[in-house]
Copies of this chain bind each other. A is one copy, B any other.
Amino acid sequence: MTTPRRLTLSFSCPDRVGIVAAVSNVIARESGWILESSNHAHEGTNRFFMRVEMLADSLTCGVDRFRESFAAIATEFGMDWKISDSSQKKRVVLLVSKQEHCLYDLLGRWQSKELDIEIPCVISNHETFRGLVEWHGIPFHCVPVTPDNKTEAFREMARLYDAVDGEVMVLARYMQVLTPEICARYHGQVINIHHSFLPSFIGAKPYHQAYDKGVKLIGATCHYVTEELDQGQIIEQDVIRVDHSDLVGDLVRYGKDIEKAVLARGLRAHLEDRVLVHGNKTVVFK
């Protein structure tokens, strides 16, 4: 089954009467067929968020004209907005280290077209997965990172990312902390999977911390990377039950299953423009 071409409009703006009416009028005027529409009014900050998915071919005016029409009301309402076109696959660069689970999981989803993206390259600080990645026909770059070369190494990665016009950078259990320079430069484009249920167990060795604390559930958190470690906006989380008989190694093993599931869900939401950042939090439309 092929999915028809879709346009996804997403925006936020100060809340006021008439936003939905204005947006739906501009769509209806061009006979736009709405597949999904979600919105959220945030009481505290009085900000309004909306996402509309339309059949591209239903628009009588064509896509470019629609963008122009929409730009007018976007200005009127002070919107922070974008329109994505499903016919243009997003370019997602994966960063990995030596752990396999998120990489295998994402490659499997890409191979089966469940994730309908381009992976222009995979970057790693180790050679471990060169063969697997290249077997999939995806270029693999090894950029070792040491305490001494960290700034240069990340600049090299940025160069590789820019060279393929990367749009999303996924830290698929990449075990190096990004430099502030990179965090700032690719703000809102870098997605990490952290191996704890944040805000518990920030930083290194969260499974050891969870084990020492004796928690009865462990979790994982998919979040945007910001300059403050493990403090970026949370996109998705999940947990799994553990008990006293589970050693740290068991927690690591259970955690891998949660990590890959949470990363895949969070990444998919981001790719479908379902995630709108709102200060230190996110709106994630189902």
Residues of A within 8 A of B (CB): 1, 17-18, 20-21, 24-25, 27-28, 31-43, 58, 99-101, 103-105, 107-109, 111-112, 114, 131-132, 135, 197-201, 212-217, 219, 233-239, 241, 243-245, 247, 249, 253, 256-257, 261, 264, 278, 280-284, 286
Copy count, this protein chain: 4
User: Contact at A17–B32, with CB atoms within 8 Å?
Assistant: yes
Top 3 nearest A-B pairs (CB, nearest first) are: A214-B281, A104-B108, A21-B24
Chain B residues near A21 (CB, 8 Å)? Answer: 21, 24-25, 27-28
Contact of A17 among B28, B111, B198, B213 (CB under 8 A): B28
Shortest Cβ gap from A244 to chain B (Å) = 4
User: Contact at B37–A39, with CB atoms within 8 Å?
Assistant: yes
Chain B residues near A244 (CB, 8 Å)? Answer: 40, 42, 278, 281-284
User: Contact at B101–A249, with CB atoms within 8 Å?
Assistant: no
User: Contact at A215–B243, with CB atoms within 8 Å?
Assistant: no
User: Contact at B107–A104, with CB atoms within 8 Å?
Assistant: yes
User: Contact at B17–A37, with CB atoms within 8 Å?
Assistant: no
User: Contact at B286–A243, with CB atoms within 8 Å?
Assistant: yes
State the CA gap A58–B41 with chains docked (Å).
Answer: 15
Shortest Cβ gap from A268 to chain B (Å) = 9
A–B complex contacts, Cβ < 8 Å, 7 sampled: A20-B20, A20-B27, A38-B38, A131-B135, A214-B234, A243-B286, A257-B264
State the CA gap A16–B249 with chains docked (Å).
Answer: 23
Chain B residues near A247 (CB, 8 Å)? Answer: 43
Chain B residues near A27 (CB, 8 Å)? Answer: 20-21
Chain B residues near A114 (CB, 8 Å)? Answer: 253, 256
Shortest Cβ gap from A43 to chain B (Å) = 7
Chain B residues near A256 (CB, 8 Å)? Answer: 114
State the CA gap A253–B197 with chains docked (Å).
Answer: 21
